[in-house]
Each structure stands twice: as structure tokens, then as C-alpha cells.
Amino acid sequence: MDDNKLEEYRLTTGARLVPVTTDMEKQLQQLWSQVLRRPAESVGASDNFFHLNGDSLAAIQLVAAARAVDIKMTVAQIFQSPVLRDLATHLEQATHSHETRSHHIEGVDQATQAAIKAALPSHFNVEKVLETTEFQSLVLHEHTQGRWLMHATITYNQKVDKQRVHRALQTTVDKNEVIRTVFTQHDRKSYQAILNNFTVPFQEHIAPTGLSTFCKSLVQEDQKKHLELHEPPFKTWFVQGEHKDSLVVRISHAQYDGMSLPIFFQQLQVWGEPDVEVEAEAPRQMSYYIDALRAIDTKPAMKFWGDLLQGSSMARLPGASQTSKAMTGSYIVKTVLLPKVEGSGLTVSSYLKAAWAMVLAKATGTSDVVFAHLVSGRSLPIDDIEKVNGPCVNLIPIRVNTAQPQSTILQQVHQQHISALPHEHLGWETIFRQCTNWNTPTDQIPRFSSILQYQNLPEAQNSFGMHGAECSVDYTVVPPNVTDVWVTVEPKGGEMSIVAGYSEEVIASEVVEGLMEDLCEVLKGIET
């Protein structure tokens, strides 16, 4: 809430601004001021982070800002102790204790590395072989069907120096492991091989027709091709028009997520500048993240998810069916007002999860519902996790008992989120196969019937200056076939854009339309 609303809230509730007193409270006051973009003097010791418009993204930013001044905290701690005074006390007590249990697990063994290198084309110079995350493995499976590849068409507002663009691309690739990675399989497991001396595929074209039309047809043609298992997903095309040029970049979702894509563009901008003397801030590499992930003890997470999902079943949407046919992506878009969460101590994400649970309960005729939530994976207690250039995202299950009042459902969802935060690292397929009794054949990819994604990231860069020109970016993604309905919600001003992605070969449009109408109705009437 803004300062006027905060003052009004304090007057209404009888609350007052409590001065900060301890050194830790004063440090947190400065950090909250920095992250929440409000004057430090307006932040008091009794203020709740989420009453001041904090959310999960702001919590990730707060953790990063705190670590920069040698204060170790986790996103889970912020959710568990959202009041400034309580968080300060918790951090003071935790100063001498270790929050994360870790143990050492060896990486990919030498025999497997040798077998993978031998199976790859001989001209590949492999720097290292890593396991993939389970999200990357899911994307890899979709690749072979021609899905989940993104094409970003960057259109400059004038002619640009082709060599400058090429150099910027090559330098960016040289300095980022994940972009010079190929994916492969060995003994039914997925791996990523980071290449040395990877020369960026840079195809040049002169547009015989309009630049935009030519680029669209180029993307459409490339989308028809199925990526070979060890084919580098990263590829570029430089298209020259009469008065301006375009750069088309293909990248796999196994190489980026919503938080790392801006890192790629920042690097591309910096390395395209002439006479760069100051190096761009080096991102954390994917190998750093994989090593850190592997060091986290999975036993507590296995127990948490097993306990949460005991006796559960996946909600099946009416009329949904599986198909192996080529599929077309369909979308239904709705817009609703953002829930007024000020003063509730809850996040918009909690309201969305509660609302979707109620919609599923109505659609499936059961009060105990399970669906998946796409999480950023950046809440884990790993140093510099916000700087990792690569996908940290994961799918985690949400289980909700909807046979209770709305206010109870909201609190249940919020508390489950807090409890799950330390366990979001466990791969979605491990949860599916080892923490539930859900019937999943070993030769099939497990499938959530619905996925909810709250995209509260900084807006994707759609226009910026680069390579001596202003440019705009248009994104195109071939949607994956990993769920019956994928609901993406994005705040835009005081409203939320709700997009339901689905395939008519799997579920009827009228069913999805009904789900979206119900979701909008629930969100309009939900207790705030």
C-alpha cells in the first residue's frame, strides 16, 4: 500500500508507527526501504512485510540485498516472521546456526561422462557434463516433439552493424554456460553437456518482402522442425530489411526462465557496446546452481511432500483426454481486478491458489483437490541464486481442502506455501513418483491436470536500446503438452490478466471457458 493508505490503515486499526531500536531492526528498516521503495522513516518495527506490498519476488530481492551486507536470511524466514521486529529477533538468534542441511554428492561419474562425450558429434568440444533439473528434463522431452522453444524477434529501428551484433552474441555465449549447452540422454536419464568453443549459429538473410512478414515466416518454418536430441537449441538469424534489421534468437526453456531472460538481454546489450572497459556483472552459471542443488539433503523434502500428499489424488478435469497427435495451442484471456490484499498479511498468489482450488472443487465434484504451481525456485537458501543464468523453476503440488469457509481456505493455502518453501528444490517428477500413490506408468511422463502460474516478475523487456539502435522484441513460444490447462496470471496495474492455455485435442474450449468464468467470479467475491 502507498504511504497515504498505510497511514489510513494505521489509523483504522489503531496501529502506530513503532520506532526501530536494535541494530538489526535498523538494518532491516533500511533494506525494506530499499526493496519496497518507500522512505525508511515510514517503516516501523511492528510493520508486516506483506502489508507494505511485499510479495514473493520482493522477498527474493530482500534476501539478495541482505546478503550483500552480510546478513544471511531466507525467503522462508520472511514468510515465517513477516513483522520486522520478529524477523530481526529471528535473524539475531540464527546468526550462529546453520539453516541448511547439506551433504556432498558426487557429480556425473567419469564412465557416464565418457559415454556421453562418445555419443555426441565428434566436433563437439565438451567442457563439462551435468545432470539436468527435472524441469529441464521435461522441456527436453517436449523438444523432441517440436515444443517449448522460444523465438525472440528483436527488430531494430534502423540498420545496424551486423558484425557488432555477431560479436555481442558470441561474447554473450562464451560467458554463459547454459547458452552453449546441448542436451542428451544416457540410460534413460537426461544430461546437459556444456560446450567449449561454441560458435553461434548466425544465419544471414535479406528480406525480399516486408521485414516483419519475413521474420514471422522464418519463425513458423523453424517451429515445424523437431529438435534433435543433441542439437544445440540456441540459434540466431540476422535479417536485413530495406530500412531496418532484425535479429531472431531461438532459445529453449531448458536454458532460461522468467528471471534469467533479462540477464541474457543485459549481457547482449553490454557486449554489443564498443570499447567495453568494465565487464558486465558476471552471472552465476548453471553448473554452480546444479552443484548447490545437489548438495541439499532431500530427506526432509521427501517426508514433507509424502505427508502432504498422503491419500490424495490428482483432480481430473471433465472431458479431458490424452492424445499423441500433433496439437494446436488455444488460449482464453480474461481480465479481473487485483484482489485487495492490503492489511491481510496474504499475497495475491495465495488468493489465486485458493480461488483455483475452489474452481477445481466445483468442476470435479470433490473438495480435496490437487494442482501444480510453477515456482521460481529462487527462494532456496543458495547464495546469489537470483543471479543464476538458467532455469531454476520447478512444479510443485498444491493440496487444498475446500470444504471449509473461504477465510480458512486462504489461511490453509498461505500456511502451506510457508511450509513448502524449504522443500521447493525437490524435483517435480520425484514428488510425483516417490511421494504419492498416484498411478503413473514408468514409461510415461507424469502429468498434472492443471498448472497455475503467477507471473509477478518485472515485465519482460519489450523495448530497449541495443547495438546503436532502439529495438522492440516479440516473443513466440510453441506451447508444451504437459498439462490439460495452464493458467498464467500476470498483474498489470490494478488488474490481472488471466490466460488459460490448452489444446482442443485434449479438453473442450467450453470446459475451459467455464473454468475461467468461474475463476473470475470467485476472485471477484473472495474475502479480502
Superfamily of domain 296-463+478-525: Nonribosomal peptide synthetase, condensation domain (3.30.559.30)
CA distances from 35 to 428, 448, 482 (A): 31, 35, 35
Percent of the chain with pLDDT over 70: 91
Question: What are the tens digits of pLDDT across the range 201-251?
Answer: 999 999 988 999 999 999 999 999 888 888 999 999 999 999 999 999 999
Q: Which of 142-156, 256-270, 331-345, 441-455 has the lowest mean pLDDT?
A: 331-345
CA–CA separation, 63 and 56 (whole Å):
11
List the grid coordinates of 424.
Answer: 521447493
- The pLDDT of 100-128, averaged and rounded, is 83
CA–CA separation, 528 and 522 (whole Å):
12
CA–CA separation, 53 and 3 (whole Å):
11
Q: Is 117 helix (H, G, I), strand (E, B) or coil?
A: helix
Band of pLDDT at residue 11, cut at 50, 70 and 90:
very low
Question: Which residues are bridge partners to 190 per DSSP?
Answer: 185
Q: Is the pLDDT of residue 112 over 90?
A: yes
Q: Is the pLDDT of residue 1 over 60?
A: no
What value does the mean pLDDT of the chain take?
A: 89
CA distances from 365 to 277, 357, 389, 398, 403 (A): 63, 12, 42, 17, 11
Strands 448-454 and 483-492: parallel
Given its phi and psi angles, is residue 277 left (phi above 0), alpha (psi -120 to 50 degrees) or beta? alpha
SS3 annotation, 310-329:
CCCCCCCCCCCCCCCCCCCC
- The pLDDT of 53-63, averaged and rounded, is 90
Band of pLDDT at residue 370, cut at 50, 70 and 90:
very high
Q: What is the pLDDT of residue 527?
A: 63
User: Among 200, 345, 196, which Cα is nearest to 271's?
Assistant: 200
Which burial class, exposed, middle or buried, applies to 328 when counting CB atoms under 10 A from its CB (0-12, 13-18, 19+)?
Answer: exposed
Question: For residues 343 and 399, which has the higher predicted lDDT (pLDDT)?
Answer: 399
List the grid coordinates of 183.
Answer: 542436451
User: Among 427, 390, 415, which Cα is nearest to 301's?
Assistant: 427
Q: Which fold has domain 110-288?
A: Chloramphenicol Acetyltransferase (3.30.559)
Among 55-69, 101-115, 265-279, 359-373, the range with the most confident prediction by mean pLDDT is 359-373
Residues of the chain with CATH 1.10.1200.10: 3-94
CA–CA separation, 520 and 44 (whole Å):
36
Percent of the chain with pLDDT over 90: 70
Band of pLDDT at residue 324, cut at 50, 70 and 90:
low
Superfamily of domain 3-94: ACP-like (1.10.1200.10)
Q: What is the pLDDT of residue 512?
A: 96
CA–CA separation, 235 and 249 (whole Å):
6
Phi first, then psi: give them for residue 194, nearest 5 degrees. -85, 130
Q: What is the pLDDT of residue 281?
A: 65
Close Cβ partners of 154 (under 8 Å, ≥ 6 residues apart): 246, 247, 248, 249, 466, 471, 472, 473
Q: What is the pLDDT of residue 346?
A: 87
Q: What is the pLDDT of residue 10?
A: 45
List the grid coordinates of 409.
Answer: 481456505
Q: Is the pLDDT of residue 180 over 50?
A: yes
Question: What are the tens digits of pLDDT across the range 443-463?
Answer: 888 999 999 999 887 655 677
- The pLDDT of 111-120, averaged and rounded, is 93
- Do residues 508 and 319 touch, judged by C-beta distance below 8 A? yes
Phi first, then psi: give them for residue 28, nearest 5 degrees. -65, -35
Band of pLDDT at residue 35, cut at 50, 70 and 90:
very high
Which burial class, exposed, middle or buried, applies to 391 when counting CB atoms under 10 A from its CB (0-12, 13-18, 19+)?
Answer: buried
- Do residues 247 and 151 touch, judged by C-beta distance below 8 A? no
E strand or H helix at 371, and its extent? strand 368-375
User: Among 507, 526, 519, which Cα is nearest to 334's?
Assistant: 519
Q: Is the pLDDT of residue 465 over 80?
A: yes
Residues of the chain with CATH 3.30.559.10: 110-288
Q: What is the pLDDT of residue 17?
A: 87
Q: Is 472 helix (H, G, I), strand (E, B) or coil?
A: strand
Question: Which residues are bridge partners to 502 per DSSP?
Answer: 330, 485
Band of pLDDT at residue 272, cut at 50, 70 and 90:
confident
Close Cβ partners of 255 (under 8 Å, ≥ 6 residues apart): 178, 179, 181, 233, 234, 390, 391
Question: What are the tens digits of pLDDT across the range 65-102?
Answer: 998 898 999 999 999 999 999 999 999 887 644 444 44
Find the largest Cα–Cα distance for the chain. Answer: 72
Residues of the chain with CATH 3.30.559.30: 296-463+478-525
- Do residues 402 and 367 touch, judged by C-beta distance below 8 A? yes
Question: What are the tens digits of pLDDT across the range 475-491?
Answer: 999 889 899 999 999 99
- Do residues 330 and 438 touch, judged by C-beta distance below 8 A? no
Q: Look-up: residue for cell 529495438? A: 471
CA–CA separation, 187 and 328 (whole Å):
32
Q: Look-up: residue for cell 555465449? A: 173
